[in-house]
Structure 1
Amino acid sequence: MSAPRKRKQRTPEGPPPPPVVQRLWIRYTKVGRLRFMSHRDYTRVFERAVRRAQLPVGFSAGFTPHPKISWVGAAPTGVASEAEYLELGLSAEVAPDDVRRRLDESLPPDLDILEVVPARGKSLADRVSASQWRFTFPGLDPQVLAEAVRAISDAGSVIVERLTQTGRKQVDVGAAWATADVVAGDGCAILTAIVRQAIPVVRPDDVYAALRDVAGLVPPQPPSALRLAQGALDDTGRLLDPLGVDSAAIAPSPAS
């Protein structure tokens, strides 16, 4: 009996894509009506914007090359954010300010490029471990909200359940709670909180569930959430700018 023939390994046709020579870290917003866009849809919009801006984006090798774009800590669908981040790999060097201008002109309103800087380390994701959120509760007494927030802080661990496509998932909101402050707004109560990005990540709906389960808080009107910043927490509780050269604080510690 003859030995089985070895299958010839397939290789992609043509030369390999040019290597990435420049990595850029980008901060952008997702607000207005476009906050309801799914992450997959935004990925497509951004890839089209990169092509429209005629940027020399790098591609992976293989039969289905993908643009060298890495997303970091994307906000949930329906949640507005002023601090979304991604890394873009280019096969030719372009001035960061030029990239910011060209991308911003190629994206629709409410998806705005705020900052573009050269990569300053191996991974942008390593510089993001917490988020600063602003939760607005229309028609709610600030004192009532402050007492509910204090209940979460005092509890230490607050487990809520989230229904996902793969079943129920438990999320510890209390363990992720870093800092919280409540102030009165114009006919509303405003909670500003820094929440650690544990696994699974705490989402705004999880915060609302924790306030309900621990303190029985049922807002008179639906609250809204806005992510103000992302970064890493230092030993004093400050949130550090992931794009900063010297890790400048973008949210002060509770004691400051």
Structure 2
Amino acid sequence: MARVRPGEAANPAPPTVQRIRVRFAKRGRLRFLSHRDVARSVERAVRRSGVPVSHSHGFSPHPRISWIGAAPTGTASEAEYFEIGLTREMEPDVVRTALDAVLPDGLDILDAVVATPPALADRVDASLWRIALPGVSGADLRAAVEGLMAKDSLVVDRIMPSGKRQIDVRAAVAWAEAGEDSPGGVTPEETGGAAVCAILTAVVRQTTPAVRPDDVLGALDVVAGLKPPVPAKSTRLAQGLLDDSGRLTDPLGSDRVTTRA
């Protein structure tokens, strides 16, 4: 075995010459995948696609893929992100097409760009959520949302592996709005066969620990006794930096922003 010289890495790998930022969706039944399952699926897709991913140094090299803000297990998303390091430069659309072709249906690559400063983590501080509430009327949801937004603070308990944790949901919710009963665009899966289906749209700031859709629904229960008769369907529509108007900038660096519901 060759001796490793001082200052040199064991088993040196080709350097990273380009980083690509990728936006992907988690849809349908694959919303029940954990973040670890999603990460493994992407790593397998990278190997199968032939994309020249760079690896860490050492005796157990790993592909240079970094993640941010994974959606909770059980929630769908149209705005998940990762960055991938490459050993040679490629057109982002070629990377997008190659990865999308080998990922399972439900993990869909939507966009890709060359990564530029600032870091991806510095481009995200909030998420836009759409929560379908089958069996809940628009009037009941509006009353609950008004009660929540009128509070200065509303703390809910979450059971975590380390024990019970108190989370201030109101401090994390930048804005929230209730949609009408059975609005256009509600899918049969979301309604669950219910005659009515109210829609909650909310921008939630990143906190530690992160406030999840279930925490927001728990806060609505505390403030107004709102309990959906069937499980809610949550979808993350966007992530980005929250501006003064309540919109989110696109982390991929374009001028697109979300609009309020």
Q: Counterpart of 2:65?
A: 69
Q: Counterpart of 2:258?
A: 251
Does 1:128 pair with 2:137? Answer: no
For 1:92, what is the secondary structure of its paired residue?
coil
Distance in 2 (alpha carbons) for counterparts of 1:13 and 1:229: 39
Distance in 1 (alpha carbons) for counterparts of 2:7 and 2:257: 48
After superposition, the C-alpha distances for 1:91-116 in whole angstroms (9 at most, x for unaligned) are 11111110000000010000000000
Within 5 Å, give how 1:33-112 maps onto structure 2.
33-112=29-108
In structure 1, give the amino acid aligned to 2:215: D
State the TM-score, normalized to the length of structure 2: 0.89
Distance in 1 (alpha carbons) for counterparts of 2:76 and 2:92: 25
Distance in 2 (alpha carbons) for counterparts of 1:112 and 1:12: 39
Is the contact made by 1:12 and 1:62 (CA closer than 8 Å) also made in structure 2?
no
Q: CA deviation at 1:65?
A: 1.4
Mean CA deviation greater in 212-221 or 130-139: 212-221
Q: CA deviation at 1:54?
A: 0.3
Which sections of structure 1, spanning at least 5 residues, go unmatched? Answer: 1-7
What is the identity percentage for the equivalent residue pairs of Structure 1 and Structure 2? Answer: 53
* Alpha-carbon distance change, 176 to 188 in structure 1, aligned in 2, over 3 angstroms: same
Among 108, 111, 118, which residue is 2:114 paired with?
Answer: 118
Q: CA deviation at 1:18?
A: 0.9
After superposition, the C-alpha distances for 1:170-228 in whole angstroms (9 at most, x for unaligned) are 21110011111111142211011111011111111101110111111112222111111
Q: CA deviation at 1:10?
A: 10
After superposition, the C-alpha distances for 1:11-34 in whole angstroms (9 at most, x for unaligned) are 998641111100111000011111
Q: Counterpart of 2:157?
A: 161
In structure 1, give the amino acid aligned to 2:21: W
Q: Counterpart of 1:5?
A: none
Does 1:188 pair with 2:197? Answer: yes
Among 17, 21, 27, which residue is 1:21 paired with?
Answer: 17
- Runs of 4 or more, structure 1, over 4 Å off, are 8-15
Which sections of structure 2, spanning at least 5 residues, go unmatched? Answer: 183-195
Is the contact made by 2:9 and 2:57 (CA closer than 8 Å) also made in structure 1?
no
- Alpha carbon RMSD of aligned pairs, Å? 2.0
> Which structure has the larger Rg over C-alpha atoms?
1
Q: CA deviation at 1:249?
A: 4.2
Is the contact made by 1:138 and 1:220 (CA closer than 8 Å) also made in structure 2?
yes
Aligned length: 245
For 2:179, what is the secondary structure of its paired residue?
strand
After superposition, the C-alpha distances for 1:159-178 in whole angstroms (9 at most, x for unaligned) are 11111111111211100111
In structure 2, give the amino acid aligned to 1:100: R
* Alpha-carbon distance change, 85 to 229 in structure 1, aligned in 2, over 3 angstroms: same
Does 1:197 pair with 2:206? Answer: yes
Does 1:174 pair with 2:183? Answer: no
After superposition, the C-alpha distances for 1:62-112 in whole angstroms (9 at most, x for unaligned) are 222111100110001111111100011111111111000000001000000
State the TM-score, normalized to the length of structure 1: 0.90
